A and B are shown apart, each in its own frame.
Chain A
Amino acid sequence: MDSNAALADLEAIVGPQRVLRSRAERAVYGYDASVFRGAELLAVVLPTTAEQISRLVVWCRDRGVPYVARGTGTGISGGAIPTHGGVIIELALMNQVLEIDLANRLAVVQPGVVNQDLKRRVQEHGYAYTYVPDPGSQVVSTIGGNVATNAGGMHCLKYGITGNHILGLEMVLPDGDIVTVGGKAVDQPGADLTGLLVGSEGTLGIVTKIIVRLLQMPEAVTTHLALFKTVDDAANTVSGIISCGLLPAAMELLDKSIMQAVDKAVHVGFPAEAGAALIIELDGFSDDMARNADRVAEICKTYDVIAFETEEGIEAGQRLWLCRRAAFGAMARLDTDVYIVDGCVPRTQLPEALRRVTAIAERYDLPIVNVAHAGDGNLHPSIPFNRRRAGDIERVLEAGREILEACVELGGSITGEHGVGMEKQNEMTLMFSPIELQVMRRIKLAHDPDDLCNPKKIFPLSMLSEAVS
């Protein structure tokens, strides 16, 4: 292809300032927050409307050029990596909050709106509503990226994952059609297409508009930090709390290794005998708070809690949340890189899953540290490493795969919230039979028969190399 002519075409669609073409710019977009890098790009384009995107994808289709939608590139499974070069469609300029409709408790946003910015905009209305989903990356990641990965966060136990908060979408399909699914009215007739398209990791089309649900802020919040001697005690406490009928907003677990790292980073001063920490957030009516907090404290005692602290209100709670929020930063100090695994198991299997992680860490001689969204059974064993050290990456990926095998064996999933992207393509065979994958692929082919829209992701490479029709 004549690249100057191609760039001229792209400029004609999005405007001259909106095509990035320098070597440096193209190189930067070869990365995201994962350990992977992409192939050489033709260009990066920054469209401002769905119509421009429609023209872009048709242009790509007519020339067989692959393209990848990109939010802010915080994905950690390589979803936004341009594995086959082509064009990056970056959504940064489509960052308008189009509507905040409090009567219907919803907002309509463009995909490039940053999660935290939406929360801020909603709060500017001075009303007691919020957009709930809160992935750890919320200060930078986009709603479009969150939708594409069906992102999780700290408050999924009570409030669900991103998909539970999405009422409808506008999507540009790979043939240029612009479709709307779902809407401001719920339960539209026919299959739940919104639910199907959420989490499709940019492989079925490009999301150009999103209707999100807003929720009332809770009247009261208390935060508790409980320290235990063992991970088992902490995990049993989690199950105990749920089986007594309480539904905390969040329950986050840290093991000893990450507690030590956090202590070094932010000086919490955990006692030496503490082997696990649990952060529990309760919310609801003020009438219920004291009694529920007492019940939580009781259950913690049953499992030999060694320290228990309480803070009232969201602001004050931040002090106790600090040790969780500092975890990723603390990991970064352990080595030059960190590889975050994202397995999920039924909640009661969490202690067993963490035991297996420890065994795997020992076998591979890797310093694995653990944080977990314990209420959801979603574990994030994290492995510090150095990508320049020979053999490190291979060993880390191998250990990660074993952890995911263990999660599937325990009745869980290879990814609770980060997505498959290019990282776990081959692990898909741990969860799905060849025929299940082929049928799943029918959805991809119904949207994108030429496989140009974020191509060759999600499905195992062995399957993609076969001729498929």
Chain B
Amino acid sequence: MTPSPTALHSRLTALLGAENAWMDEPTTAGHAVASRRPAVVAAPCAAEQVAAVLELASREKLGVVPWGCGTQMHLGPPPAEYDVALSLKHLTRVLDYDSANLTLTAEAGVALREVYRLTLPGRQFLPLGYPGSEASLGGLLVTNTSGVKRLRYGGMRDLLLGVRVALPEGELLRYGGRVVKNVAGYDLCKLYIGSLGAFGVVTEATFRLAMLPEDERLLAVAFPTVAQGMAAATAVRSAALLPSTVALVSAAGWADALPVGLEAGQAALLVHMDGSHESVQRQLAEGEAICTSHGAVQAATLSGEELLTMWERQEVWRTSAPDPALLQVRVGVPPSNVETALGLLDEAPRFCREPVRWLADAGIGSVTARLPLDAQADDLAAQVQAWLGSIRARLDDRQGFAVVESAPETLITQLDVWGASSGASLLKRYKSRFDPQGVLNLGRCVGGL
């Protein structure tokens, strides 16, 4: 029997203090996921308290949903059980910044921008996101979010060194550590990357940092067609350059933030270079020559503030809250199949009222696409599900996949958000041993966990 909200609130108050547990209407409404609201919002002040809340939840068979900074709570289907919103907003201490060893340990609720603020004076950074990012370190970790410069600096799995986690049954544990080479036992840190909290709440994490480059510049080039832009991207990748990003943007995307103008059907290639002044200059020159020979219509270079602002606009576009009129999907493919993936997406399905807008990381093989929905369309959910099924089948032939990143609630509950995953059988086995009661983020994660 689930305790009444009042009873639950008083138990949580006893654990956390009255100032850290709420059941009032505005607070619970503020922690709604889709239209589901928690009975109580709890904000522990320490990892031990996170563990205590979970221990209570598993004893009482409650549904708990962790909240980092709350920027991506729409990811995944709404929770099947939702009694407690576990807010990590008080877990905001940076525990250790070891600049000589290029590592940083911080609590899960620390916003990425705090890390930038702390490390930039020493010319170091954590290569995820952009300097103004409000996302929490824990949220980035469990959503497996890597930065735009992943091609050069590695992704989450390359940068994470250690975690402290609170398990659904209340155990508080550390895995990994602070050293870059550590093969003692199974690398359980990796279980938390992309887990969406299915196996525990991350309370603390250690990352390796990188040194800021001496110089960085972005070459933005407009092409008359996507195919030409793609051919240039491939040529840039095959040349003796070491770009940090090679991305392609459709005319309909956040193109207004670009230093080159785009018309319908055109695409812009973005090549970001990090390095010494000399090497950046040389790469820019070679990059531009390649683009010219592939039919570029316009080129511009960005640096400094302007460059940061452009990436910020891009990320805001990509991560903004769900819009009832949009469906956002992420497609992953081997880089050589990006063009095919864009072709699939550009065959705008009937339920789209405008052209699909996309941003393709051609170096990594990841495409974010936004489909403006036609609310008038008959049987929208069935149409979208059928479309998803068909692009998944075609991507499957090319070793790719598609996931729904955001959709209006009426739609998301009827969609297969994650699609089939070959690892799902293993994830299910782990879930039954890590969270037998189904306390954490139930029903939200890959494999229906």
For A445, the closest partner residue in chain B by CB is B433
B58-78 with Cβ < 8 A to chain A: none
Q: Tell me the smallest distance from the CB of A174 to a CB of chain B, in Å.
A: 11
Question: 1/0 per residue A288-308: CB within 8 Å of B?
Answer: 100100000000000000000
Q: Do A287 and B278 have beta carbons less than 8 Å apart?
A: yes
Partner of A420, one of B99, B185, B275, B364: B185
For B193, the closest partner residue in chain A by CB is A192
Q: Do A413 and B179 have beta carbons less than 8 Å apart?
A: yes
- Interface window among A7-15, A48-56, A238-246, A321-329: A238-246
Q: Do B102 and A191 have beta carbons less than 8 Å apart?
A: no
Question: A160 an interface residue at 8 Å Cβ cutoff?
Answer: yes
Q: Do A417 and B193 have beta carbons less than 8 Å apart?
A: no
For A347, the closest partner residue in chain B by CB is B101
Q: Tell me the smallest distance from the CB of A161 to a CB of chain B, in Å.
A: 6
Q: Do B173 and A160 have beta carbons less than 8 Å apart?
A: no
Q: Do A192 and B190 have beta carbons less than 8 Å apart?
A: yes
Q: Do A180 and B194 have beta carbons less than 8 Å apart?
A: no
Partner of B335, one of A104, A247, A437: A104
Q: Do A149 and B403 have beta carbons less than 8 Å apart?
A: no
Question: A156 an interface residue at 8 Å Cβ cutoff?
Answer: yes
Partner of A413, one of B101, B181, B418: B181
Q: Do A195 and B190 have beta carbons less than 8 Å apart?
A: yes
Question: B191 an interface residue at 8 Å Cβ cutoff?
Answer: yes
Please report the total number of A residues contacting B with Cβ < 8 Å.
Answer: 85
Question: A185 an interface residue at 8 Å Cβ cutoff?
Answer: yes
CA distance A437 to B174 in the complex (A): 10
Q: Do A189 and B418 have beta carbons less than 8 Å apart?
A: yes
Q: Do B423 and A186 have beta carbons less than 8 Å apart?
A: no
Assuming the contacts A185-B333, A186-B364, asked whether A412 and B177 have C-beta atoms less than 8 A apart, the reply is yes
Question: A190 an interface residue at 8 Å Cβ cutoff?
Answer: yes
Question: 1/0 per residue B253-295: CB within 8 Å of A?
Answer: 0000000000000000000000110110010000000000000
- Interface window among B31-39, B110-118, B151-159, B314-322: B151-159
B369-410 with Cβ < 8 A to chain A: 399-401, 403
**Contacts of B181 on A, CB cut-off 8 Å?**
152, 156, 161, 344, 373, 376-378, 413, 416-417
Q: Do B179 and A291 have beta carbons less than 8 Å apart?
A: no
CA distance A373 to B421 in the complex (A): 38
Question: B178 an interface residue at 8 Å Cβ cutoff?
Answer: yes
Q: Do B335 and A103 have beta carbons less than 8 Å apart?
A: yes
Q: Do A185 and B423 have beta carbons less than 8 Å apart?
A: no
Q: Do A242 and B157 have beta carbons less than 8 Å apart?
A: no
- Interface window among B41-49, B219-227, B300-308, B424-432: B424-432
CA distance A418 to B336 in the complex (A): 35
Partner of A288, one of B102, B198, B279, B333: B279
**Contacts of B403 on A, CB cut-off 8 Å?**
189
Q: Do A189 and B446 have beta carbons less than 8 Å apart?
A: yes
**Contacts of A414 on B, CB cut-off 8 Å?**
184
**Contacts of B366 on A, CB cut-off 8 Å?**
186-187
Q: Tell me the smallest distance from the CB of A465 to a CB of chain B, in Å.
A: 18
Q: Do A418 and B401 have beta carbons less than 8 Å apart?
A: no
Question: B175 an interface residue at 8 Å Cβ cutoff?
Answer: yes
Question: A443 an interface residue at 8 Å Cβ cutoff?
Answer: yes
**Contacts of B135 on A, CB cut-off 8 Å?**
none
Q: Tell me the smallest distance from the CB of A138 to a CB of chain B, in Å.
A: 17
**Contacts of B195 on A, CB cut-off 8 Å?**
190-191
Q: Do B182 and A413 have beta carbons less than 8 Å apart?
A: yes
Q: Do B334 and A436 have beta carbons less than 8 Å apart?
A: no
Q: Do B279 and A284 have beta carbons less than 8 Å apart?
A: yes
Question: B188 an interface residue at 8 Å Cβ cutoff?
Answer: yes
Question: A428 an interface residue at 8 Å Cβ cutoff?
Answer: yes
Question: A316 an interface residue at 8 Å Cβ cutoff?
Answer: no
**Contacts of B171 on A, CB cut-off 8 Å?**
435, 439
Binding site for B on A (CB under 8 A): 101, 103-106, 128, 149-150, 152, 156, 160-161, 163-164, 173, 177, 179-181, 183-196, 198-200, 204, 216, 219, 239, 242-243, 245, 247, 284-285, 287-288, 291, 344-348, 373, 376-378, 411-420, 424, 428, 431-433, 435-437, 439-440, 442-447, 458
Would you give 14 A-B contacts (Cβ < 8 Å), ordered by A? Answer: A184-B334, A185-B365, A190-B424, A190-B445, A190-B447, A285-B242, A346-B178, A413-B177, A417-B183, A428-B185, A437-B185, A439-B173, A443-B188, A445-B433
* New contact pairs (17) apart from A191-B193, A284-B279, A288-B278, CB-CB < 8 Å: A150-B187, A152-B181, A179-B426, A189-B401, A190-B421, A193-B423, A193-B427, A198-B187, A245-B211, A288-B279, A376-B180, A377-B101, A377-B181, A411-B177, A431-B185, A436-B175, A440-B188
The 6 lowest CB-CB distance pairs between A and B, nearest first, are: A195-B190, A190-B446, A416-B181, A103-B336, A185-B332, A184-B334
